[in-house]
Amino acid sequence: MTLLGDAAHLMPPLGVGVNLAMLDGCDLALAIARHDTIGEAIHAYEKTMLPRSTEMARLLDGAADGLLSTELPDFATAEDH
């Protein structure tokens, strides 16, 4: 058993997870095609996916801070369109 896609990548909602999910699918399919057993294929896939996932999570650490706010807009002064 292995994980791929969003289940394998705990990322902030910045669009990176879906890109990694598509890359995971391609990498796993190629690994299956290139190896004699599913076990060997999964091991090869995980050797690629896990370091990539770890590095991306490190790069995105704190990147979602701007997505959340405790401030509410002042609707009373908003212009009507």
> Model-level pTM?
0.69
Tokens linked to 52: 């990539």
Q: Distance (Å, rounded) from C-alpha 67 to C-alpha 53? A: 21
Average of per-residue pLDDT values in the chain: 83
Is the per-residue pLDDT at 81 higher than 60?
A: no
Chain segment 10-43, per-residue pLDDT in tens: 777 777 888 888 899 999 999 999 999 999 999 9
Q: Which residue has the higher pLDDT, 5 or 16?
A: 16
What are the residue ranges of helices labelled H in 1-81? 16-34, 38-60
User: Which of 5 and 80 is assigned the larger pLDDT?
Assistant: 5
